[in-house]
Amino acid sequence: MIGRATIVWAGIAVIAVLNGGFRELVLIPRAGETAGRAMSTLMLSVAVLAVTFVTVGWITPDPARDAWGIGALWLAMTLAFEFLAGHYLFRVPWREITADYNVLRGRIWVLVLIITLVAPAAAAALRGRTP
């Protein structure tokens, strides 16, 4: 189950990187920084929910605590990827990475983190995978 969950998360990470490229190349130039980032966040949130809903049967979390455990694993891997790969692989400055967490400045990136945590349990419940 953990191996399958990790494979699904890796797919979500690829989608997230592509989403980031689309945000930088298309959304921000056309809609501006704040609106472009908000649209990108909403798009990625929907993608995480969709991928999770489609793959939760294959991951097979049972019971509900397993689905929450997968969500916690995905959240930890997402944060690690965001900070470690973001800074060391993609060379994003720490200040820019942490700026995405400033809700008071219109940054709603935390929505993706909440969705990432909740999506496996929500999808499992919707698909009847939990008691």
Note the residue count of the chain: 131
**Tokens, residue 34:** 């704040």
Question: Which residues, 6 or more positions from 45, have their beta carbon under 8 angstroms from its beta carbon?
Answer: 111, 112, 115
The number of CA neighbours under 13 Å toward the Cβ of 16 is: 22
- Cα–Cα distance, 7 to 12 (Å, whole number): 9
Return the DSSP state at 101.
T
One digit per residue, the tens of pLDDT, for the chain of length 131 reads 889 999 999 999 999 999 999 999 999 999 999 999 999 999 999 999 999 999 998 988 777 789 999 999 999 999 999 999 989 988 989 998 999 898 988 899 999 999 999 999 999 988 876 54
Pick from 14, 46, 48: nearest CA to 56:
48
pTM (two decimals): 0.89
Every domain of the chain and the residues it spans: 2-126
